[in-house]
Structure 1
Amino acid sequence: MVHIFSPLNGRSRRFRTAVSTLALATVMATLAGCASVPPPDGSMNLAQSQLQAARDAGAADYAPVDLGFAQSKFQQAQSAMASRKYDVAGQLADEARADAELARAKARLAAARAQIQQKSDDNEHLRQQIEQAHAHDNDPPPVAAPAPASSNGLPPAQPMEDLPAPPSSQLSSPQDQGQGTQTLPDQTLPDPNHQGGQL
């Protein structure tokens, strides 16, 4: 047995009216939601400042890929702003800011590593200089070559050193008596061959 249902005319109209009202309300809410998203000026400004900070940190040299991603997303965000797609522009600006922060962090890390390497190289150079200086200080003094023996078989005479002058108290004062030589009082000089006893 087959049953055929036929809706009542009054009920059908109310149902259609409710569905169309609901659809119309959904469309209006969606349009109102799109119109209520403000331009993401703050996100755009923040992304732009982070891009500049990344460039200043040397990201073009140390993190060019991440900096390129950030710049590309920022350009897309600017295009979305021009098309009044503010929600898309805000998301792209946030992504550009994050990529710029990453590029900046990588650039700072690479610059710090380069400085550490330079300091390490300088320290190694100084260490080598100190070791060379200590090696020269610890070298024994040069040994003089032995003097050749004289023809009589005796060692050669040592050079005479300058002797200091005697103090002035041992010298006699000059006499005013005439010109010429001065005579000294008679003094007996000890005999160098004398050994202290009488002969």
Structure 2
Amino acid sequence: MAHRFSPLPGFGWCRTVQVAGALPLLAVLLVLGGCASVPPPDAAMNQAQAGLQAARQAGAADYDPVDLGFAQDKFQQAQTAMSNRKFGPAADLAAESSADSSLARTKAMLGAARAQIQLKLQANTRQRAQNEQAKAENAQHEAQQRAQLAQQQAATQVGPDGQPASASSTAAPANPASTGLPAQAPMQQDMPAPSAATLASPTQQGGNGFQTVPDAGQSAGNPASSSSTNTGGQP
């Protein structure tokens, strides 16, 4: 003989209540399991830290301190999330920090390039000014040398009496051969006239007194008179 067991009254309702109460607990466990399945963003954190270092080395503290400050703040927040095991927010914050540090590094490099260009422009301006000054000094020195040379030439042209030498005295005589003209014969100077003392004093010969010069006819016609004259009138 077979027996049938019927469920107790109210037993099905109790079982439904137990299953419904376990659902929230299951949901909490699933959420916790999902959070635990996200790995720690170690690579993102390392990349963010390296980006900060590169931005500082590029001079972001001088050329772009604002973006560098944003990157540092995001990295600190990512570290806080890592310590609280909030790996998802930590990864997002690390990525934002990397982007800000990259922007700061780029702006720093541009600022450094502009500074180098400005320094070169200033150096070129100084060099140009030095060149202009050197040219002016050279021109002044040349002017002084020309003035000294002119003074020396003027001093050499002054005569013995302190007056400027005339052109006829300073100019050299022209060479006839160079001018193409025939050479002129040298001019003969006149004989000087005898002095009055020479004309007044008679010629003395042998202490015999004044001797006259006989005429040409007298010398030819009367030679004896010449001898008588030489004897001084004695026979």
TM-score normalized by the length of structure 1: 0.62
Q: 1:152 to 1:58 in 2, by over 3 A?
A: closer
Select the structure of larger CA radius of gyration. 2
**Amino acid across the alignment from 2:113:** A
CA deviation map 1:136-157 (0-9, x unaligned)? 4556633234746443634399
Identity within the alignment, %: 50
Residue aligning to 2:202: none
Q: Distance in 2 between matches of 1:138 and 1:15?
A: 113
Q: Could you say which structure has the greater relative contact order, defined with CA pairs below 8 angstroms and 6 or more residues apart?
A: 1
Q: Which residue of 2 aligns with 1:155?
A: 165
Tell me which residue corresponds to 1:87. Answer: 88
One-letter code aligned to 1:32? G
Which residue of structure 2 aligns with residue 197 of structure 1? 185
- Whichever residue aligns with residue 155 of structure 1, its letter is A
1:31-62: CA deviations, max 9, x gaps? 22211110000000000111111111112222
Long gaps (5+) in structure 1 = 1-11, 159-194
**Structure 1 102/15 Cα, relative in aligned 2: closer, same or farther at 3 Å?**
farther
Q: Give, in whole Å, the separation in 2 of the partners of 1:53 and 1:83.
A: 27
Question: In structure 1, how many angstroms separate the alpha carbons of the residues matched to 2:63 and 2:34?
Answer: 42
The answer to which of 54-63 and 77-86 deviates more is 54-63
Cα deviation per residue 1:40-88 (whole Å; 9 max; x = unaligned)? 0000000011111111111222222222221122111111111101111
Matched, 1:76 2:77: yes
RMSD: 3.5
- Matched letter for residue 53 of structure 1: A
Instruction: Could you tell me which runs of 5 or more consecutive residues in structure 2 were left unpaired when the two chains were aligned.
Output: 1-12, 171-182, 188-235
Deviation at 1:197, TM superposition (A): 2.8
Match of 1:124 in 2: 125
Moved more, 132-141 or 44-53: 132-141
Deviation at 1:29, TM superposition (A): 3.4
CA distance in structure 2 between the aligned counterparts of 1:41 and 1:35, rounded to whole angstroms: 15
- Confirm whether residue 45 of structure 1 aligns to residue 46 of structure 2: yes
Distance 2:162 2:108 in 1: 84
Q: Number of aligned pairs?
A: 155
Cα distance, 1:127–1:25 mapped onto 2, change above 3 Å: same
In structure 2, distance between residues paired with 1:152 and 1:42: 102
Aligned partner of residue 185 in structure 2, secondary structure: coil
Greater per-residue helix proportion: 2
